[in-house]
Structure 1
């Protein structure tokens, strides 16, 4: 029997899974992301029990996805303590002599949703997660999008909402999407954690404005067939109609879009998007 492995490597936790040839998950664990050596020791303990056929890895970033680069497979300029310039892919290859797919956590989630979730009737989609940070992945013509690097959709510049003067929570940019629309920005504006905010709080109009502006930019550049939104902030269901309406206003009538209820949707796989994407990518390594 073939066993496919998945590692969804997040800044907070590593989710590892094993699936069979039908991609039915046999076993899954969640490990806290501590320091690299300690975290990988637990990862190896989990996978060593199986005769792995291939492995798919979706990692927090930034990561190096350029196969011609001397640091291909590294987690690079992350602010996560202890993980800067760590050769994660190299450590996995040293342990397991098998094909290993390597991409970002959000690219893996986009791939999982396109094949098995909310985008399964498409060949192109964007997956955007909005939580502690903002990250996005894209699949174009059935292929995960990456070039010399990978998309960093959370750090595009956005115009400020009228009279919004809150300081950006991003240490790199004063006016990027993550700095103005991630969970910490919501808390900075209100003094209340996002999950505790009332559904009709005024701050949601600001949030919808920033997210719709970002989706407009992604739409104009990539023209995806579907945009899928996930992450903790997007558990606020009232945001979806607000984002759709704001997108309609900001885009004007410049381009025709599919019905917005079909174009901007939540994720079907919920917290499994990244895991299923990694498993799909692993299986494809053996095709």
Structure 2
């Protein structure tokens, strides 16, 4: 088989969001509309071969579900967590994926699927999706954060994604907020990811319960605290539970420090926040905005320019399609 190329004429693109817990493959039109998706567990703890196998199966499944042949597809774009070398198709390191050091990603998928594949860091990918077709449409500078299993960031300045000298730019989840804070998956201490991502939110709630605080959280999980997750804590907060509200208030405060740093350094038109934890809405956005207002008084940055992602859980899928659109030479919608 000769070298694969992107199909300039095909009407559809497959975009894939490789999450720490779940991966989502979607069929996307050239107008950015997601017409079909397929999800399956990532199984990140089982190593690169298993994850790549799951990616292949998800791509094939979503094409089958839509009734598409390979000739209908321009290519596949995948957002991959960690430090990515896009042109080489390699993941240098992914802190929350077991065994992911210098892993070839594109070539084994191309060999098994028979379509040209391009990759980029997952949050850079989601940022491109939001910038082309979502909350950032029409802006020239934008920062995106995703809050979930980890915390990532994508930075767009003067109309292009900032990748940096070694394509490691945008790792906003690994800025140090508390130097003596908890150990992060990257090996450092006190990263915002270790303080405000999924496990940290749950850990903050568990610590308060261990301190004897009264809460409805144990009742909501039937006494099994292993079932506790950010959504249950959000539900409790909306029921007026003081412990749960404190958890989100404290999490939003730390996130606000991280966002303030970005606002002060980059002065973007917009800061877009997505991911599963951002679904908590005002519970997380209000403390973020309050903290930014207090810490960015020397600038004209308006905290109301901190907005939720519009594409929701599909930011990464649409962004994956945008990776291919860029390879096809397509222009961003005005």
**Bucket of the pairwise TM-score, normalised by the shorter protein:** 0.7 to 0.9
1:286 match: 328
Q: Bigger radius of gyration, 1 or 2?
A: 2
2:189 is the alignment partner of 1:180: no
1:149 match: 167
CA shift, 1:86, in A, is 2.1
2:215 match: none
2:293 match: 248
TM-score by length of 2: 0.74
1:229 match: 273
2:259 is the alignment partner of 1:215: yes
CA shift, 1:243, in A, is 1.1
CA shift, 1:18, in A, is 2.0
Alpha-carbon distance in structure 1 between the residues aligned to 2:192 and 2:149: 12
- CA-atom RMSD, angstroms? 2.5
Alpha-carbon distance in structure 1 between the residues aligned to 2:154 and 2:147: 12
Per-residue CA deviation, residues 64-94 of structure 1 (Å, 9 max, x unaligned), is 34x4xxxx32223224235443211222344
30, 42, 52: which is aligned to 2:39? 30
2:118 match: 101
67, 78, 91: which is aligned to 1:75? 91
1:91 match: 108
CA shift, 1:225, in A, is 0.9
Mark the runs of 5 or more structure 1 residues left unpaired by the alignment.
none
CA shift, 1:284, in A, is 2.4
Checking the alignment, whether the CA contact within 8 Å between 2:11 and 2:29 is kept in structure 1 is yes
2:229 is the alignment partner of 1:193: yes
Checking the alignment, whether the CA contact within 8 Å between 2:16 and 2:25 is kept in structure 1 is yes
Q: How many correspondences in the alignment?
A: 275
114, 117, 134: which is aligned to 1:117? 134
Alpha-carbon distance in structure 2 between the residues aligned to 1:239 and 1:281: 30
Alpha-carbon distance in structure 1 between the residues aligned to 2:108 and 2:187: 29
